[in-house]
Every structure is written in structure tokens, then in C-alpha cells.
Amino acid sequence: MTVTVPVPTMPRRRKDPSQIRQPAGGEKKVLLAAPRGYCAGVDRAVIAVERALEHYGAPVYVRKEIVHNRHVVDTLSEQGAIFVDETDAVPEGARVVFSAHGVSPAVHAEAATRSLDTIDATCPLVTKVHREAVRFAKRGYSIVLVGHAGHEEVEGTMGEAPEAITLVQDPQEARTVDLPDTDKLVWISQTTLSVDETMETVDILRERYPHLENPPSDDICYATQNRQVAVKKVAPAADLVIVVGSANSSNSVRLVEVALEHGAKASHRVDFAREIDEEWFHGVATVGVTSGASVPEVLVQDVIRLLADYGYTDVEEVRTAEEDLIFSLPSELRKDLKAAAGS
Ligand code: 2E7
Ligand code: F3S
């Protein structure tokens, strides 16, 4: 784990587990989805801020939340990171880290005019989508970006080719959107969407615009896909699926939706174990647990401990894929760390 300072959990009054209505027959069980939690892009971004703090000293400014997780942001803040909404809140000439979700060229330009030292922690898989957008726009394509308005990743990607991109958020919008009258039409997407809903959106668009071309490779990233596949495996057997992740974490919120669509009787998202409501356990034999790509494992283990307090001591991991991808640190930071090591 890269973020190791635990946030103390609030003491909560718990019912005696024997007072919670027991499931009729059957043991209490936890199905722990894997893969879950940190992806390679989050690991890299969080380590980048930690290393920057160690190497340059506090404060280090970070534009937007480095990743969408309350615990990560609070912990890095305690270590000296200052999170700002825009680069104009960063003092002239100071150092700023761009978040894993990516930034538009306009943000890079503004940072340059303010002489900021930038460390770009944009996930390389988001950079890939940016490059796709630029390439298609240069070739004269109109681009449909499937994604959610207002999400930082979408703002960054749209900023690469604003005149060429139309945002389509969901199947409903796909039914009504007016796309430019052109032969050259392609879709790309945000990296953290529901795979199934995105395919539905694209199918509807293609019924209306049969010449719509596919992107050269998946934009929904490996981590998003793997976490959805794992929760799909757990959900049919689960009376309740608990997803650990923050409210503004797109991929975490998608996991709740996917769990419900694939047979979970109920599903709730929590930032911390202390938010779990004991009422959720009434009549529940099997609890599924997973976490979004921005969630440190320590928060999942807090949930597992709380479940044990309620009698859910039998934990089975349900693994659907192995992950071993590692991204190297942002090049600006690597260069400075290397220079310091050599001196
Ligand atoms: C960057 C990107 O920080 P997250 O919760 O972000 P989402 O996009 O799901 O709100 O998760 C990690 C992450 C995912 N995608 C970071 Cl582009
Ligand atoms: Fe990157 Fe996917 Fe994680 S886009 S930050 S690997 S969720």
C-alpha cells in the first residue's frame, strides 16, 4: 500500500449480532471480489505526490483530487499536499501535480504562463484516449465521446479537440443527440464507465448512424473492466454487495450499479466501514465486498473486520483476473529523483 496512515474509525454502537435477524438456514459468508482497489494509474499518481513531498518538501500543490478518494486526499493533505481547484490558486513558480484524470491543453498552457513546475500524473491510459481524440480530429473525424458531463477526465479529453467532440452520456442521450452530418464518425469513451451501458449507448447510436466507427482499442480501461467482471461473479450469490469508494468516484459508483444489475439483492457504497448501517444485514446470509480503483486496501480490511463483528467470519476471495501492470513515475519527477540520486 502506498497510503499507510490509517484514518481512525469513529467508534460506533453496535447491536449484539445475536439481535440481528438471522438468515433462514445457511452460514454467514463474505465473498470478496478480486481484482479490487488500486489500479496501476492510481498507484503511480499517489506515489508521485508522496515522492514529490519527500523530495521537494511541503507544500506540493495538486490540481483537483489526485484520485477520487476521501481517505487518500485527507492523508496526503496531512502530509503537506495542498489540493486546489484550478492552477490560478497555485502561487507563481510553485510546483503542481496534475491529477490522474488528466487535464486539457488549456490547463498546461495556463500553468506555463504562471511558470509553474508541473508533474503530470495523468494515467497513461487516459493519455492514450487524448491522443486518439487528437489523431481522429486531425483526420477530419467527428468524435462522439461517451462519458459523464462535468467529470474531470471528460473535461480533459474534450479539451483536446473541443470543436470535433460531441459528448453523449447514456442510452437516453444516444436516442436524441444530433450528430454532425459527416461520413467520418467515430466514438471514444471515458475510461471508467459501465462496459454494458456503454455498449448499449453505442448500439443505439449505430442504429441511427450506421457508419459510426469503433476506436482502435478499448478505452474503458483494464482495471474498470476487471473490477466489473469480478463483481458480476459475486453479485448473483450476494444478498448485499458493499462497494468501498467515494461518491465522486465514477468507477466505484458503477460497481454498485453493476452489482444490482447482476443479481445482488441490495448494494451500497461507503467511504468508510463506519458508514455501514446494521439494518442492511437483516436476512442477509452472503455479503459481497469490492472496492473502486482509487481505494486503498486498508479501507476494505476495515469493512471485513466490521463484518466479522457481525458474525460474517467466513471470507472467500472470488478472483476473476490477475493484475501486474505497473506504470513508471511521471517523467519530470523521475528526472529530478535520478539527478538527486546521482549527486
Ligand atoms: C483516473 C482515471 O479516482 P477514481 O475514483 O476516478 P473515477 O474516474 O472513477 O471517478 O479512480 C481512479 C481513476 C480512474 N480513472 C483515476 Cl482517468
Ligand atoms: Fe488509469 Fe484505469 Fe486506473 S484509466 S487511473 S488504470 S482506473
Ligand 1: centre distance to CA 330 (Å): 17
Q: Is 126 in the pocket of ligand 2 (CB under 6 A)?
A: yes
Question: Is pLDDT above 60 for 14?
Answer: no
Cα angle at 300 between 15 and 148, to 5 degrees? 110
Who has greater pLDDT, 247 or 8? 247
Q: Give the list of residues 6+ apart from residue 185 with CB closer than 8 angstroms, or none.
A: 141, 142, 143, 144, 179, 209, 211, 212, 213
Residue 304 pLDDT grade (very low, low, confident, very high; cuts 50, 70, 90): very high
Atom 1 of ligand 2: nearest residue by CA position: 41
Q: For the chain, how big is the Rg over CA atoms in Å?
A: 22
What does pLDDT average to over the chain? 94
Give the chain's length: 343
Task: Identify whether the C-beta of residue 297 lies closer than 8 Å to the C-beta of residue 1.
Answer: yes
**Whether the Cβ atoms of residue 128 and residue 180 lie closer than 8 Å to each other:** no
| pLDDT tens digits for range 191-201 | 999 999 999 99
Mean per-residue pLDDT for 93-122?
98
Give the residue-averaged pLDDT of 161-185.
98
Over residues 31-64, the pLDDT tens digits come to 999 999 999 999 999 999 999 999 999 999 999 9
pLDDT higher than threshold 80 for residue 8: no
C-alpha cell at 297: 486496501
- pLDDT reading at 140 higher than 90: yes
Cα dihedral 174/203/104/151 (nearest 10): 60
Displacement of CA 188 from its chain's centroid (Å)? 18
Question: What are the grid coordinates assigned to 224, written together?
Answer: 474498470
Cα-Cα end-to-end distance for the chain: 29
- Rounded distance from Cα 132 to ligand 2 centre (Å): 16
Q: Pick from 99, 126, 127, 221 the residue to mutate for probing ligand 2's pocket: most ligand atoms within 8 Å of its CB.
A: 221
Cβ of 39 less than 6 Å from ligand 2: yes
The preferred substitution site among 65, 120, 123, 290 for testing ligand 2, maximizing ligand atoms within 8 Å of CB, is 123
Active site residues: 153
Q: Which three cell numbers stand for residue 236?
A: 448473483
Q: Tell whether omega for the bond before 35 is within 30 degrees of 0, i.e. cis.
A: yes
Sign of the CA dihedral with 80 first, then 81, 83, and 88 last: positive
Confidence of residue 343 (pLDDT cuts 50, 70, 90): confident
Nearest atom (ligand 2) to Cα of 126: 4
The residue contributing the CA closest to ligand 1 atom 2 is 101
Could you read off the pLDDT of 75-90 as tens digits, one per residue? 999 999 999 999 999 9
42 lines ligand 2 (CB under 6 A): yes
Q: In Å, what is the CA distance from 312 to each residue of 239, 256, 282?
A: 13, 21, 13
Reference 221, options 294, 275, 299; nearest CA is 294
Q: What CA dihedral angle connects 124, 129, 131 and 134, to 10 degrees?
A: -160
Q: State in Å: Cα 28 to ligand 2 middle.
A: 33
pLDDT (0 to 100) of residue 25 = 53
Query: Shortest CA distance to 311 belongs to which of 290, 287, 291?
Result: 287
Per-residue pLDDT, averaged over 232-255, amounts to: 98
**pLDDT recorded at residue 13:** 44
Other C-beta atoms within 10 Å of 282: how many?
A: 12
- Output the CA 151–ligand 1 centroid distance in Å: 10
Local confidence band at 16 (pLDDT 50, 70, 90 cut-offs):
low
Q: Which ligand is nearest to the CA of 291?
A: 1
Question: Mutate which of 36, 38, 39, 219 to test ligand 2's pocket (most atoms within 8 Å of Cβ)?
Answer: 39
